[in-house]
Structure 1
Amino acid sequence: MPVEDLIHHVNLTGLAGEGSLYQTGDHVAAWFGGLHLHSLFEPVADLEREQIVGHIAHLSAHDADGQAVPTVDAYARLETDAAVVQFDRLSRTLHALNFLAQRQWAGGFLQLAVHPRHLSAVRQDHGLVFEAILKRCGLAPEDILLDVRGSDLSAPAVQQALANYRQRGYRISAPWPYPAGVPIDQVVHDAGASAAGNTQALPRRLANGLLHAGDLAIFRQAGFRLACGPLIGRPESRCRTTHSRL
């Protein structure tokens, strides 16, 4: 389905809640609660193959005067759980549409953040509404890596949400350490922290925030498979070509 039709569908069916999507040039933008929202994509590299294999979506928000609003402040403006769910879902839809528009050269996986209040506010069928949106975009839950950093993974409500996501085929990214028994696909480590001591078998490991070329050998030796950060590429509106060399 063309991007224009997808925008119309989301706005018409009310999936954007109190917000709306609109097209600006060759990109999709959104409006919610007095904020203009845009997508930025940070490339993720496979350290063994030295290729771009996916992207992390970041939200860029500005008020009506064009002043940048940090994402944490954008969420802090939302007074109800319902507003958080709408804003969170709209943000991920925005990223999916912009990713779709670049699909011919982007490819790879797309990592999307899920706000902790969203996980606790939705009681059941987590990921169902977004799955319907993804399918219209030509994407599937298997293409998506949901980032649940900031959530209490030991909380029963969060574990139920993660189980719902996994049943639908979404993959999960979480920080180390995480509770035993929680199935995680990707473990996120701050590259500023020591890599020593993390020798037990782990899922795919992402070194976040790489700055220097000398760090690459250190983190390869420590068992990190993936990396992102200024050394790999800064967040931009356009995706890097997937499978291109670093």
Structure 2
Amino acid sequence: MPLTDLIRYFNVADTTGESTLYLDGPRAAAWHHGYRLSSLFQPIVDLRQERVVGHQAHLLVRREDGRAISAAEVYAACETPASVIHLDRLCRTLHALNFLAQQQVAGGYLQMAVHPRHLLAVQNQHGLVYEAILKRCGLAPEDIVLQINTTACGERTRLTNALTSYRQRGYRLALSGPLPAETLLALAPDIVQRDSVEARHSLPSAQPAGILLELTGIDSGRQYEQACAAGVDLGQGSLFGSPEPDCRPTHGKRRLAYNHASPFGAPHENRQ
């Protein structure tokens, strides 16, 4: 479905009257309570194979006067659980639309954050509504890595139930936060995210099979070498590219993938 049709569909489906998606050049953007929301994408690199395998979505927020502000300020303005759920789904819908708009040259997976307040506000069936949104966009939970900071996610049982629901629907999970290493790994994420090589050493040298380590903030060749030496699997940072409206190409326009491997062990099938 063309991007314009998808924007029209989601605007009609949104009965809250709080937000409006609109076409901004070749991309989607949104108005939400006087804020202009748009997407930025930062490449995620498989350090072993030196290839882009996914993109981290970032939210760019501007006031009506054009001044950029932090995404945290927009979330802080949400006064009710329902408003947090609405905003968080709006942001992830926006990212999905802008990722979809680049499928001609951008493959791999889309990694994006779930706000801790959203996770706590949803009582059950986590990921169900967003799965329907993804399907409307021609995507699936298997295309998505949900990034969750465990710092503010409440009691362990609540977090475990949410993760179980996401996993049952096919989403991949990337966890970060100060939980003890054993506790974090017991939650069985697909990815453990750390922000420094030193933090990597808080994890066991032998991780459970299938769990990948992702390091953010790789901004220099020296940091890259340290990450490789420490056994880091995936990396983000300005060395590979800063957040931009356009994804880093992962295949040619003739659908010939030159970054074809998935970090999860299966080849990525390019959609026609």
Residue 193 (structure 1) shift: 3.0
CA displacement, residues 6-41 of structure 1 (integer Å, 9 cap, x when unaligned): 111111011776211100110100011110000000
Q: Could you tell me which amino acid in structure 2 is paired with residue 141 of structure 1?
A: P
Please give the alpha-carbon distance, in whole angstroms, between the structure 2 residues aligned to 1:77 and 1:232: 33
Asked if 1:222 is matched to 2:230, the reply is yes
Residue 181 (structure 1) shift: 3.0
Q: Secondary structure at the match of 2:103?
A: coil
Contact 1:146 1:173 in 2 (8 A): yes
Residue 156 (structure 1) shift: 1.8
State the aligned residue count.
Answer: 245
Indicate the residue corresponding to 1:77 in structure 2: 77
| Mapping 1:56-75, distance limit 5 Å | 56-75=56-75
Q: Could you tell me which amino acid in structure 2 is paired with residue 187 of structure 1?
A: V
Indicate the residue corresponding to 1:200 in structure 2: 206
Unaligned runs of at least 5 residues, structure 1:
none
Asked if 1:42 is matched to 2:47, the reply is no
Indicate the residue corresponding to 2:162 in structure 1: 161
Q: Secondary structure at the match of 1:233?
A: coil
Q: Secondary structure at the match of 1:148?
A: strand
Q: Could you tell me which amino acid in structure 2 is paired with residue 201 of structure 1?
A: Q
Superposition TM-score, scaled by structure 1 size: 0.94
Farther-moved stretch of structure 1 (175-184 vs 61-70): 175-184
Instruction: Please point out which of 183, 187, 192 is paired with 2:188.
Output: 183
Please give the alpha-carbon distance, in whole angstroms, between the structure 2 residues aligned to 1:223 and 1:15: 48
Q: Does the C-alpha gap of structure 1 residues 239 and 16 become closer, same or farther in structure 2, counting only changes over 3 Å?
A: farther
Q: Could you tell me which amino acid in structure 2 is paired with residue 38 of structure 1?
A: S
Indicate the residue corresponding to 1:238 in structure 2: 246
Q: Does the C-alpha gap of structure 1 residues 32 and 223 become closer, same or farther in structure 2, counting only changes over 3 Å?
A: same
Q: Does the C-alpha gap of structure 1 residues 240 and 25 become closer, same or farther in structure 2, counting only changes over 3 Å?
A: same
CA displacement, residues 120-171 of structure 1 (integer Å, 9 cap, x when unaligned): 1111111111111111111110010000114437532222111111110001
| Mapping 1:106-117, distance limit 5 Å | 106-117=106-117
Please give the alpha-carbon distance, in whole angstroms, between the structure 2 residues aligned to 1:116 and 1:34: 23
Contact 2:120 2:154 in 1 (8 A): no
Q: Does the C-alpha gap of structure 1 residues 71 and 49 become closer, same or farther in structure 2, counting only changes over 3 Å?
A: same
Q: Does the C-alpha gap of structure 1 residues 154 and 242 become closer, same or farther in structure 2, counting only changes over 3 Å?
A: farther
Residue 195 (structure 1) shift: 4.0
Asked if 1:101 is matched to 2:101, the reply is yes
Contact 1:153 1:159 in 2 (8 A): no
Please give the alpha-carbon distance, in whole angstroms, between the structure 2 residues aligned to 1:140 and 1:77: 30
Q: Secondary structure at the match of 2:240?
A: coil
Q: Does the C-alpha gap of structure 1 residues 43 and 180 become closer, same or farther in structure 2, counting only changes over 3 Å?
A: closer
Greater RCO, CA 8 A, separation 6+: 1
Unaligned runs of at least 5 residues, structure 2:
252-257, 260-272
**Coordinate RMSD, CA, aligned:** 1.8
Same amino acid, percent of matched pairs? 45
Indicate the residue corresponding to 1:172 in structure 2: 173
Please give the alpha-carbon distance, in whole angstroms, between the structure 2 residues aligned to 1:80 and 1:153: 17
Q: Could you tell me which amino acid in structure 1 is paired with residue 189 of structure 2?
A: I
Contact 1:16 1:89 in 2 (8 A): no
Please give the alpha-carbon distance, in whole angstroms, between the structure 2 residues aligned to 1:117 and 1:51: 34
Superposition TM-score, scaled by structure 2 size: 0.85
Q: Does the C-alpha gap of structure 1 residues 151 and 86 become closer, same or farther in structure 2, counting only changes over 3 Å?
A: same
Please give the alpha-carbon distance, in whole angstroms, between the structure 1 residues aligned to 2:4 and 2:113: 24
CA displacement, residues 205-233 of structure 1 (integer Å, 9 cap, x when unaligned): 11110111022222112111110011111
Please give the alpha-carbon distance, in whole angstroms, between the structure 1 residues aligned to 2:201 and 2:78: 40
Q: Does the C-alpha gap of structure 1 residues 197 and 158 become closer, same or farther in structure 2, counting only changes over 3 Å?
A: closer
Indicate the residue corresponding to 2:9 in structure 1: 9
